[in-house]
Amino acid sequence: MPKRLISKIKDLISSNGSHQPKARVIGSSEHGFRPETLNPNAVTVIETLTAAGHEAYLVGGCIRDSLLGKTPKDFDVATSAHPEEIKALFRNCRLIGRRFRLAHVRFGREIIEVATFRGCHSKAGSNDKHQSSQSAQGMLLRDNVFGTLEEDALRRDFTANALYYRHSDGAIIDYVNGFDDIQNHTLRLIGDPEQRYKEDPVRMLRAIRFAAKLGFKMTASTEKPIIEHAELLGHIPPARLFEEIQKLFLSGAAENVWRLLKQFDIAPWLFPNSTPDSNPNPAYQAMIDQIMINTDLRIAQGKPVTPAFLFAVMLWGPLMQRWEQVKASGVPPVPAMQQAIQYTISDQIKFTSIPKRFVIPLREIWELQLKLPRRNGQRANRTLEHPRFRAAYDLLLLRESADETTPGLGEWWTQYQEADAATRKAMVEQQQSQSPQGKRRRGHRRRPRRRNSNSNSNSNSKNSQARQNNPG
């Protein structure tokens, strides 16, 4: 049964292109992989596993990126050793995952991910749900059937990610013609695309990420089922989709990613209230387009990007819609903003989770938008000293760049940050004199309440009587 399934997968691969089912061994003089890019900790893992009698190879993105002339970031190892055998060899190892069992070998702050060769699901017994199980929609709930190197290659998602580097002689092993696909900048899903997307709908997001990040063109068979099966993302846990969103938008190709998410009608399954269909306001769409450009620029410059700010921009349009609705019901602006924030976050986490460590700064960035126009007295200084001021200020500039009405506010805060104490004081005084609040007449002080004369008389009489009764 396993051989028949492997043969079927090979036939499907061949039907999608001119792939050869037999392994192609590409020598170091031919492939151009740069040994100097090898991670020494990954090499240590491979050498330890092979010394113990196991097969072990570098696999996936590190091989692909090196062949493309990029500097690899993540080094993954594929091995014939089972998770418990890996753990026995490394004191610094931790086993993780239930759906997909992995070993993390830690070297200080760095983690080398080690995975056992995956096999065909027909190897698992029909009653062994601990190894393999699927949902009614065909989604893999557990994928812990172990196999051979060849089976592992056929279980991977894209041909470009299915190359194995053999450290002993520097050769690359290719079962699915991934080497040629990398040279041709082609993104090809291994096996039957519909079945593979149903097994794990997140593969659709990975296809978009790789196409956007690497500049690869999807084959027709890889591309076509994405629009047809986008709704399968509704079966993915929101926490996993949040992790995928970070990979999508923080990979340095956010602008292309957002374009492809809209093109393939996947955006509504990630940000249902932020797409042009659900929120057609051109100002809000312009803000989203600009944050994608800015994010790519910051990534290219090696600067950090927090998901809290990304969500603050992506959900600004839905937040403003909610805010107007709540205010229309008679709620004052500030409480209305609090309610709108809660509604907006509650709507979003039905699709993608937002961890608490990001929800708190997200709320603060939004709340500061109401405080930025209020600059009288010490308010400007207090706002400037707020930990989220810089992110709130950046959101303000995005709002202005999208022609949202905040006349001169961004420029005022830009100058205020750069000014000395005396200039800041003068700016506040000038702004205060020009604002309606600054021109408002101060109300009269409340007149002290008059004491009741009868009460005073009664009190004095009682005190006098008390002195008479207590002469000492």
Residues forming the active site: 74, 76, 157
31, 68 in Cβ contact below 8 A?
A: no
In DSSP terms, 76 is beta-bridged to: 59, 113
CA 79 to chain CA mean position, Å: 29
Question: Helix crossing, 202-214 with 220-228: angle to 10°?
Answer: 130
Tokens coding 429: 């005084």
**Residues 63 and 178 sit within 8 Å (Cβ to Cβ):** no
DSSP-assigned letters across all residues of 47-108: HHHHHTT--EEEETHHHHHHHTTPPP---EEEESS-HHHHHHH-TTEEEE-SSS-EEEEEET
Report the alpha-carbon distance of residue 63 to residue 158 in Å, rounded.
13
DSSP-derived 3-state class of residue 373: coil
Distance CA 167, CA 149 (A): 15
Q: CA 439 to CA 435: how far, in whole Å?
A: 7
Question: Do 373 and 409 form a contact (C-beta atoms < 8 A)?
Answer: yes
Q: Are 23 and 175 in contact (CB under 8 A)?
A: yes
Distance between CA atoms of residues 214 and 182, nearest Å: 10
Token digits of residue 300: 């290219």
CA distance linking residue 53 with residue 88, whole number of Å: 13
Q: What is the 3-state secondary structure (H, E, C) of 303-350?
A: CCCCHHHHHHHHCHHHHHHHHHHHHHCCCCHHHHHHHHHHHHHHHHCC
CB under 8 Å to 169, separation ≥6 — which residues?
A: 27, 28
Q: CA–CA separation, 416 vs 380, rounded Å? A: 9
